[in-house]
Amino acid sequence: MPESLTLIQVALPVPLYRRFDYLASQPLPPVGCRVLVPFGRQQLVGIVVAHPAESELALSKLKPVSRQLDASALFPPALWKLLLWAADYYHHPLGEVLHHALPVLLRQGEAAERKPIACWQLSDHATHDVIATLKRAPRQQQAIQLLQDGPLPAAELREQGVDTPVLKQLAAKELIKPFDLHLQAREWLDHLLLHENDAPYLNTEQAAVLAAINHADDKRPFLLEGVTGSGKTEIYLQLIKAMLAQGKQVLVLVPEIGLTPQLLRRFRRRFHAPILTLHSGMNDRERLDTWLACKAGEAAILIGTRSAIFTPFKTLGLIVVDEEHDSSFKQQEGFRYHGRDLAIMRAQREQIPIVLGSATPSLESLHNALQGRYHHLQMTQRAGGAQAAQQHLLDVKHLPLQAGMAPQLLQLMDEQLAAGNQVMLFLNRRGYAPALLCHDCGWVAACPHCDAFYTWHQQDRRLHCHHCDDMRPVPHQCPECNSRNLVSSGVGTEQLAQFLEQRFPAYKTIRIDRDNTRRKGELEAHLNAIRHQEYQILLGTQMLAKGHHFPHVTLVGILDVDGALFASDFRATERLAQLYVQVAGRAGRASKSGMVVLQSHHPEHALLQDLLNNGYHHFARTCLQERQVLALPPFTYQAVLRADAPAREPLELFMQQAAQICHHYGAPDLQLLGPLSPVMERRAGRYRMLLMLQCPHRMHLQHYLQQLLPAIDNLPIHHSLRWHLDVDPLEV
């Protein structure tokens, strides 16, 4: 080894738990920097994680790094520590965790240098008179409306459904102009105008909550449990204002950006400071620039989805997690982290406050609050003065249902539509029908790759497996008996929409599900049309429930409650209750109360009764008691080992060996379930099995996993087999 070369340890983006030693010359690349290193026949971007004194390998075997990519660490210390902790806690290879935390361009070795952010703003020509001429161009009008609150990054306009051609048309009319935003570090502080006049006076509940947060004398997280419309967002805005005034940055995590345009507008109206967003609709360059702008302290507020938790900040002062119960905070593949949980750990490491807000807190957070681990703040009154919705539990047993709808519900629709109101219906099954079957012999069209039936999509004339995405044309006759008598079984959104169009020909129906919101901006365009009352009947899956406020909706129907009541997933009732409360909270407005109708064959179901009679708050506590009796989370901690393979034999062998390792370890408070097959044993052509590890103490479970995993990792496995560990799984 040449004398000038010294050891460094590098984490590489490979699915291996070990780290790799390389040689580098003095001065050594600091910990947290990227280096390009030879790995086999490739060159990989790795991150320096240590400067060890010695290596297990002979130094003569080690290779020198090819290139140092950064002069200093990419992650500030608190974030760096969080990532190391996360790799340990989720038992995921550090190289993959660090890689995941970086914007794609940095993973690819791009320089961590920022380009100006492409933005648009209104020009002086955009007067009221000129804007009025755009009536026939709704997209252009929408763009102007968005820009009336101030300039916006091109990426965000795209996310709101305004694409480049629309912007070009407006630019050609000289109504808007592009400019490059060169943010200067914390320049915003100098002309930070807070639009105070927009802020309402806080009501008593809000004032009490704000005071409690401001005067808390410990660092526990705050759980803000406030009914929809109680003014939680207003609390966030007030807290953020105080942070900005101190020159500190704020991170706001939301479940989905595309679904929160109203929230963004409110933030922009309130603060004259750079507000950036981070979401899936951005290209790699935009993501990197946003990341760097936050790191340099140039952005005041970042609003983003779960991965925004990995953004570095210069002076982070506060984290807000809105709709903290939302399961989209959990990453369901690769590095399976929970964005809310990481946010809590990050706030702890940064020594800053964190507020979790929801009308329907997750049972995990509620449990923490009831145990005193979080501050528990509650708001029970609607701030804007809207009345709470009435609720009806409709027993549909023996009723003649049409497309799954009871006559009473149809009649209520008649009344509300005639009165000029909108009606919203929920059905969590997209497609025409969940199955296609032969009326003569009973054959059902099943996916050959999964233990599941095909969904029938009539509009596209195809069968679609929602589990593996396999598609094929609808057969003309039964492959078993050649009968042409093929019929649908069950009702999906497509069929319901068809029925509603026939039943209510005088009104326009719109369907909102994943099938007709695939294209960028499509969803936002639909939502706008709904707000402008172009449609009277809104029908959709859960998607329609998230975050939207439609003031003209006075009747909401939830059509299939029973599925959730009897699901094998113990979290299904919690989710149903959350959906119900979210929806109920949005029906009606100040002048008119709304009505929510739940259709069920089991109206006597205890949880349903509790939810309706006593509200979410009470329901959640009942649920918690039930979970305690059954020793389920949050009273116990879980990790699930999942594996899959194209054939059963190697899978069963691996799972048995893994289970043996766990049994052999035999900790008294470690409970094992399985190995067992999930309800859908085969998916996308692969057999699946799982082993559930459960323990009443989080630290113990962590300790056991630390002991067990290396042994499991060492098992000889068939090349076709894949396995992973999911800590705190949301699904089994």
Binding residues for Zn(2+): 438, 441, 447, 450, 465, 468, 478, 481
Please report how close the Cβ of residue 588 comes to ligand ADP at its closest, in angstroms.
13
Among 198, 415, 480, 731, binds Zn ion (CB under 5 A): 480
CB of 234 to ligand ADP, least distance (A): 4
Amino acid, single-letter form, for residue 703 = H
Q: CA–CA separation, 489 vs 437, rounded Å?
A: 7
Residue 423 in contact with residue 417, Cβ under 8 Å?
yes
Nearer to Zn ion, 361 or 431 (CB): 431
Q: Which is nearer to ligand ADP, 297 or 357 (CB)?
A: 357
481 binds Zn ion (CB under 5 A): yes
Closest contact distance (angstroms) between CB of 440 and ligand ADP is 53
Quick one: 231 or 675, whose CB is closer to ligand ADP?
Answer: 231
Say whether residue 450 binds Zn ion (CB under 5 A): yes
**Which residues of this chain interact with ligand ADP, rule CB under 6 A?**
200-203, 206, 226, 228-234, 383-384
> In the numeric block, which tokens belong to residue 408?
């009473």
| Residue 213 beta carbon to ligand ADP: minimum distance, rounded to whole angstroms | 15
* 447 interacts with, out of Zn ion, ligand ADP, none, CB within 5 to 8 A per kind: Zn ion
Q: Does 463 bind Zn ion (CB under 5 A)?
A: no
Q: Which residues contact 154 (CB under 8 A, 6 or more apart)?
A: 118, 119, 120, 164, 167, 178
Query: Residues annotated as binding site?
Result: 438, 441, 447, 450, 465, 468, 478, 481
Among 101, 447, 581, 732, binds Zn ion (CB under 5 A): 447
685 part of the interface to Zn ion, by CB under 5 A: no
Beta bridge partners of 355: 222, 320
Closest CA to 424 of 518, 591, 543, 322: 543
User: Among residues 314 and 449, whose Cβ is nearest to Zn ion?
Assistant: 449
Question: Whole-number minimum distance, CB 386 to ligand ADP, in Å?
Answer: 8
Expressed in angstroms, the distance from the first to the final Cα of the chain is: 51
Point out which residues pair with 378 in neighbouring strands: 225
DSSP 604: T
Which residue number, 480 or 534, has a Cβ lying nearer to Zn ion?
Answer: 480
What is the C-alpha separation between 45 and 13, in angstroms, rounded? 8
Write down the H helix ranges in 605-676: 606-629, 648-665
Please report where in the chains the tokens 């406030």 appear, as a residue.
Answer: 226
Q: Which among 187-195, 474-482, 521-529, 659-667 is the span making contact with Zn ion, rule CB under 5 A?
A: 474-482
CA gyration radius for the chain? 28
Q: Verify binding: residue 449, Zn ion, rule CB under 5 A.
A: yes
What separation in angstroms does the CA of 616 have from each of 92, 234, 340, 550? 35, 22, 21, 22
Alpha carbon separation from 389 to 246, 386, 505, 559, 607 (Å, rounded):
41, 9, 27, 17, 19
Q: How far is the CB of 477 from Zn ion (least distance, A)?
A: 8
Whole-number Å distance between alpha carbons of 183 and 84: 31
478 scored as a contact of Zn ion (CB under 5 A): yes
User: How far apart are the C-alpha atoms of 561 and 567, rounded to whole Å?
Assistant: 11
Residue 438, binding choice from ligand ADP, Zn ion, none, Cβ under 5 to 8 Å by partner class? Zn ion
483 binding Zn ion? (CB under 5 A)? yes
The nearest distance, CB 487 to ligand ADP, in angstroms, is 44
Kindly give the residue spans of alpha helices, DSSP state H, lying in 281-438. 284-295, 339-350, 363-370, 407-418
- Half-sphere CA count of 379, side-chain side, radius 13 A: 29
Position 185 contacts Zn ion (CB under 5 A): no
CB of residue 446 to Zn ion, shortest distance in Å: 9
Q: What angle do CA 354, 359, 361 make, to 5 degrees?
A: 60
Identify what 441 binds: ligand ADP, Zn ion, none; CB under 5 to 8 Å per kind. Zn ion
- Binding region for Zn ion (CB under 5 A): 438, 440-441, 443, 447, 449-450, 465, 467-468, 470, 478, 480-481, 483
